[in-house]
Structure formats: structure tokens, C-alpha cells
Amino acid sequence: MPPRPRLQPWITPARHLHASSAARLPPPLPTTVAASLAAASSNQGPAQDTLSGWIRSVRRQKNVSFAVLSDGSQVGGVQVVLPKGLDEDLTVGCSATLRGAWVDSRGKGQAKEFKVEEVSFVGESDAETYPMPNTKQGIPLPVMRRNAHLRLRKDGPAAMLRVRSEMNWAMADHFRREGFVRVEMPVITSSDCEGAGEVFRVIEGTPEGPAPASNAPASSPSPPPAASPKDGPPPPSRYLTVSTQLHLEAITSSLPRAYTLAPCFRAEKSDTARHLQEFWMLEAEAAFLDADVPTALDQVMTIAESVVRSIADHVRNMPDVAAHFAHHAPALPGQFDALLAPKPYPRLSYTDAVTLLQAHAAAQPDAFAFAPTWGAGLQTEHERWLAEEHVRGPLFVTDYPTALKPFYMLANARKEGEPDQTTACFDLLVPGLGELAGGSLREHREAELVAAMDASGLDKEAYGWYVDLRRYGTTRHGGFGLGWERLVGLLTGETNVRECTAFPRAAEGSRF
């Protein structure tokens, strides 16, 4: 019998690993305020506990002080009670670690309060200059945005980020159950997916000074090397992506159901409550759709509707967060009722929508600032009227004129009674917002796609790989894109997308 090989010196036998490493395991992270309070309320928590967070307010009395501590794990924070002497270093905005025990509260508004026995850490804060004071008047939104690095200390922004986190979980869970594969998409691309020219161009260069975290000496910018005939054609221009759709189509040429949640960038100057220059978009694609075009479009709309419903249902079951936002947006519960109504979202063609809008404009001449006209895009006021007044809930508007849509969308057969050709596409409209998502069937035939590219004046060489998808094993496929910040606003009652992300990037710029 051959001798048993000796283990290499860097390999620890499994039977010794646990015993030798147990002493080196770091202590667990501190319990969140919400978890500690929940354990105490159910009489399952320890006799003593340690809480860490930031001080929202301090109220000092003769022999005792009351403070509100929050770590963002729940809305509103909790009241902590400190004997005289332990409160000396506490100010609004400071961080603190407090050891003590939960006791029944003798005041109104909370069942438990935390009686402090020891203050073991305080991160100082000058209450006089702290930009996020606890005032009854509230803090103006421009001040909050200018101090985005601190605004998450407030209930609303912190709760918004918790909603975003839970939305991510609900989205991933839904798509996983539906057999979709999540794929990470590139941020730098050589194509303008929408063809609108609103792109940020990526260029190479040396910064004029050292990076903020660098101690390296500044260097002069290096001039680009002179082009040589031997170098061949210049490399294609590179942009920050406006949509990952084209790349996602490549994924669904081998994985029939795929989706991504990725950052997108648009250099548009729209300074509105619905636009950001950097935002996140949920995009999904599905292959092998039905041969009947209207049925295939219904299949894609059903995918979009089902994920919105799943996310909305999950967020509505976050009791403290839902109650907080409903308090500040009284219409929010009704919004959830409309999103989760048992019947499928109505479908309405663009042609029928324009007819309805024109009839309403004729009956009320001052109803719209922009006259609804067949062949023109629907304005936000038109979209909102359709969702808020005509349907009183979400609806899909389908089959827009081909001239309004990008080159990659599948054109419908010319229909009698329509002034021009339409496209197999849709927008999902919702009350209070207008457009939430847009999608289409994709042109899957090579000759028709190339003709559409020629009509749009696109460089076929730059999009050669995209044409290859039609040349090698094409399928009938389609998908959609949904603005993530818009959905956050819809589910929290926030009317400005700048309040739906931690560090908003919009036309006015940002210091972050």
C-alpha cells in the first residue's frame, strides 16, 4: 500500500480548520435598530443591547435627556433616554454607539424606548452648521440635493433607498421564476441605440491634475499620436450607452429570455421632473415569440405588466415604508390599487388614442396646450389624460407611426384607415407620470432591417454585428425598457425623479 501523501503546508485539514479559525472570526455586525426593537417587542431580545446610529434630535431636561436615534433601518428612528451626564457630547447630526436596554415607554407615540447606560462612541457634529437640521418647516429640496451626501439621514430619502433595494429583490425574484437570465451589459458602446444623437462621447486623455485620491504629481496632457497611414482606419467613436437593448438582443440569440438593470446616459437638456442624464433602466428581451404580430406584441406587454405588478405588490407589503410615503402622498394607496387591479391593463392603439384626445380637445378647447395630431408624438399631458381621466389606471398605447420610432422596430402591415404605416410597439402609461416603459417587436428580417438602417442614414459597417443576428439564426423577438427612477417615484409618490436616486445627475449639474 503506497504511503499516504502529506498535505502541503498551506493546506489546513478540515477537522482543524474550524477550531483554529474560530478564535479569529470577527465579531458580528451590530444589530440594526429595527431588528433590536422587533426582538424586544416580541420579548425575544437580550436583556441588554447596543445600538448605533445618528442623532436626529436632543431634548434636555433637568435630570434626563431624550434623543431620537436612527440608523435608517426604519422610518422615524427610536427614542433613547439618557441620565444626566451621558448626554453631554450628543448633538444633532452626530453618530453614537449606545449600550442599554429596552423598556416600556411612558410617553405617547412609541411602545418601547431605549434606556441608555453607557455611551461608548460619539462621532462629533457641529449642530450649528449641520445642513440637515430637524425642523418643523422641513428642508427645501434644492438644499437637500446640494447636500446629497447627507440628505439620506432624513426619513424620506433613506426610505426611498430601502424601496429601491426591495424593488431590486422583487424584480430578480420575479424574473428568476419566469426563467429569465440576468446579464451585465457594457456601459461603453460604439452605437447610439435610439439614433437621437443625445449621447456622451468617451474620449481618452490625461486629467489636468491628480485624481482626488491620488498623491501623484500632476502631469501635462499628452497630445494624441499622429495618425499614420499604416495604422488603418481610425477606431469607432465610443459613447456612454443610452440603452443596452442592442447588446441584450445578442444575448437572446442564445439565451431566449434575458434581462438587465443597468445605468444609461442621455445628454439631453430636458430640465423636467421626469428626466435625468444618468439613470437606471430595466430592460428585458424574449425570443421565439408568436408568429402573429399582435399576439407577439401582447406577449411582450404581458412580460412588462407582470414585472410591474410583482414589484408593486412587494413594495406595498413594506408596512412602515408604505405608511410613510402614503402620509406624504395621499393618492398613493389608490395608485397601488390601480397597478394591482385584477383585470389586465387595457390596450389602446395610437390611432384610437388620438381620436379620443381630439374628441376631448373639441369638447374642451383649453384642455391641452398641444393639439393632438395623428403622426405627432403624444405629449405628457396627452399621456396623463389617457391614464388619469380616460382609463383611471395604467394602459398600453400600441402601434405608433413608424416615423416616430427607431430603425430596429418591426413595422406593421399597412392598415386601412391609417394615414401612414405603423410599428408593432407600445408605451406603458400610468397616472401621475405618463410614460413608464416602452417596447416593441424587433425587425428580425435581414433585408428589412438593412433597408430601415439605410432610411435612417446609419453606418451599416458600424452595425454589422447587429445585422449578423438576423443573418445567423434569427428569431421573432421583442422587449422593453422601463425607467427605474420613474418606477421608484410611482411607488413612493415622489413626483421628481431627482428624489428617486442617491446622487442625481441632471441638466443643472452636480457637485458629486
3-state percent helix, strand, coil for the chain, nearest multiple of 5: 30, 20, 45
The reply to whether CATH 2.40.50.140 applies to domain 33-130 is yes
Neighbours of 110 (CB within 10 A): 13
How far is 363 from 350, CA to CA, in rounded Å?
20
How many residues are there in the chain?
Answer: 512
Tell me the pairing of strands 347-349 and 395-398. Answer: parallel
- What is the phi/psi pair of residue 3, to 5°? -65, 145
Among all chains, which residue has been given the C-alpha cell 486623455?
205
Q: Among all chains, which residue has been given the C-alpha cell 474560530? A: 22
Give me the helix-helix angle, 293-316 and 155-177, nearest 10°. Answer: 130
Nearest-angstrom CA–CA distance, 409 and 38: 52
Model pTM above 0.95: no
Residues of the chain with CATH 3.30.930.10: 157-202+236-500
Contact 399, 422 (CB under 8 A): yes
| Residue 395, beta-bridge partner list | 429
Count of other CB atoms within 10 angstroms of residue 171: 24
Q: Which three cell numbers stand for residue 112?
A: 418601547
Per-residue pLDDT of the chain (512 residues; tens, 9 = 90+): 555 544 444 334 444 545 555 567 888 888 899 999 999 999 887 889 999 999 999 999 989 999 999 999 999 899 999 999 999 999 999 999 999 999 999 888 789 999 999 999 999 999 999 999 888 788 888 889 899 999 999 999 999 999 999 999 999 999 999 999 999 999 998 876 665 558 888 888 766 655 554 444 444 444 555 555 556 666 678 889 999 999 999 999 999 999 999 999 988 777 788 889 999 999 999 999 999 999 999 999 999 999 999 999 999 999 888 889 998 899 999 999 999 999 999 999 999 999 999 999 999 999 999 999 999 999 999 999 999 999 999 999 999 999 999 999 999 988 776 788 999 999 999 999 999 999 999 999 999 999 999 999 888 888 999 999 999 999 999 999 999 999 999 999 999 999 999 999 887 777 88
- Cα→Cα distances 36→73, 246, 250, 447, Å: 10, 47, 48, 64
Residue ranges of the chain assigned to CATH 2.40.50.140: 33-130
What is the C-alpha to C-alpha distance for residues 74 and 33, in angstroms, rounded to an integer?
A: 8
In our burial notation (b when 16+ CB lie closer than 10 A, e otherwise), range 478-497 reads bbbbbbbbbbbbbbbbbebb
Cell of 205: 486623455
CATH H superfamily, domain 157-202+236-500: Bira Bifunctional Protein; Domain 2 (3.30.930.10)
Q: Considering only CA atoms, which of 477, 440, 491, 183 is closest in space to residue 304?
A: 440
User: What's the CA gap between 70 and 320, in Å, rounded?
Assistant: 14
Distance CA 289, CA 188 (A): 30
* Cα dihedral 166→170→172→177 (10° resolution): 160
How far apart (Å, rounded) are the C-alpha atoms in residues 494 and 273? Answer: 10
